[in-house]
């Protein structure tokens, strides 16, 4: 277990800023006193095959998706000071889930830019040939000056053509597309569904298909009798923006946006002309 002051190669750990079941993230500085976020894998034993594979695949996907704007910056990954680690850009800010729960003005006052940049981040990932598969507000950071970064690529996979069934059901059920929960073939359009759920939540402070478990979420996705359109909750939402969110939430993936660039284009039209 890492501690304040520990050295990993050229990096000194200063503060643990996040922790989960598989890893923890530390604020660190290098020998030139530059700040970085260092993610450490907690179970690095030789028998943790699945965890190590996901960690390394996530690092490699992040490295392949660098754009300098909307994706968290990649520095290096591998064994550093004897420990499996990922070194990233350090962003002073919070994820969208925390900002939403706090009603933080950095989110509410920049919501149009956030929605466009969030979709633009997915456009980068998809254009590089990957689907993220864990799109949700918790995996999007927003700095104090409103700069957005998509994070956590552990579940990412190459976009299949044609769509194919996933080997395992991983992620957060509230943001999973119906085809994922039904264990049917998926492609990048599962990310567009998750974006639609996230956008709905950021605009209304509610989930479109709430549920205590995956089965209840799926029932609400398919049935829709209890579904409330975003503008019924928040009348300030532009009609064109509601139309875009609803298209992302089409239960038939063929009715969603075929490519993410079309989503980004329509968001810009809807929000910059509002």
Summarize pLDDT for 209-225 with one digit per residue, the tens: 999 999 999 999 999 99
CA distance 26 to 222: 41
134 has catalytic annotation: yes
Span of 116-120, 170-174, 245-249, 254-258 with lowest mean pLDDT: 170-174
Any residues with CB less than 8 A from the CB of 261 and at least 6 apart, and which?
Answer: 123, 127
Question: Percentage of the chain surpassing pLDDT 70?
Answer: 98
Res 22: pLDDT: 81
- Under the banding of pLDDT at 50, 70 and 90, the label for residue 50 is confident
- Under the banding of pLDDT at 50, 70 and 90, the label for residue 170 is confident
Summarize pLDDT for 202-212 with one digit per residue, the tens: 999 999 999 99
CA distance 198 to 145: 21
Residue ranges of alpha helices (H) inside 84-237 are 96-102, 105-108, 111-127, 178-181, 189-204, 214-223, 230-233
- Active-site residue (options: 30, 44, 134, 167): 134
Res 44: pLDDT: 64
CA distance 265 to 36: 33
The Cα-based distances of 5 to 8, 89, 159, 201 in angstroms read: 10, 19, 41, 39
What Rg do the C-alpha atoms of the chain give, in angstroms?
A: 19
In our burial notation (b when 16+ CB lie closer than 10 A, e otherwise), range 195-212 reads bbbbbbbbbbeeebbeee
CA distance 176 to 217: 9
Any residues with CB less than 8 A from the CB of 1 and at least 6 apart, and which?
Answer: 42
Can you give the pTM of this predicted structure? Answer: 0.95
Which of 40-44, 164-168, 236-240 has the largest mean confidence?
Answer: 236-240
Q: Which helix (H) or strand (E) holds 19?
A: strand 11-19
């Amino acid at each position: 277990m890492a501690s304040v002051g520990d050295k990993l190669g050229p990096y000194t750990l200063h503060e643990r800023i996040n922790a989960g079941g598989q890893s923890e993230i530390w604020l660190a500085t290098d020998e030139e006193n530059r700040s970085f976020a260092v993610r450490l894998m907690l179970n690095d034993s030789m028998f943790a095959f699945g965890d190590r594979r996901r960690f390394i695949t996530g690092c490699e996907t992040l490295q392949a998706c660098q754009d300098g704007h909307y994706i968290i910056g990649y520095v290096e990954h591998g064994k550093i000071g004897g420990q499996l680690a990922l070194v990233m850009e350090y962003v002073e800010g919070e994820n969208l889930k925390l900002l939403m729960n706090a009603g933080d003005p950095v989110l509410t006052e920049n919501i149009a830019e956030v929605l466009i940049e969030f979709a633009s981040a997915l456009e980068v990932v998809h254009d590089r040939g990957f689907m993220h598969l864990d799109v949700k507000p918790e995996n999007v950071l927003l700095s104090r000056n409103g700069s957005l970064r998509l994070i956590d690529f552990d579940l990412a996979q190459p976009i299949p053509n044609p769509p194919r069934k996933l080997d395992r059901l991983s992620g957060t059920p509230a943001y999973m597309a119906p085809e994922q929960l039904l264990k049917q073939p998926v492609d990048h359009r599962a990310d567009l569904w998750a974006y639609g759920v996230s956008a709905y939540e950021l605009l209304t402070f509610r989930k479109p298909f709430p549920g205590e478990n995956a089965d209840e979420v799926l029932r609400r996705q398919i049935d829709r009798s209890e579904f409330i359109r975003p503008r019924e909750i928040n009348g300030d939402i532009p009609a064109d923006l509601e139309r875009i969110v609803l298209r992302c939430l089409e239960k038939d993936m063929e009715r969603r946006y075929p490519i993410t660039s079309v989503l980004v284009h329509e968001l810009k039209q809807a929000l910059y002309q509002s």
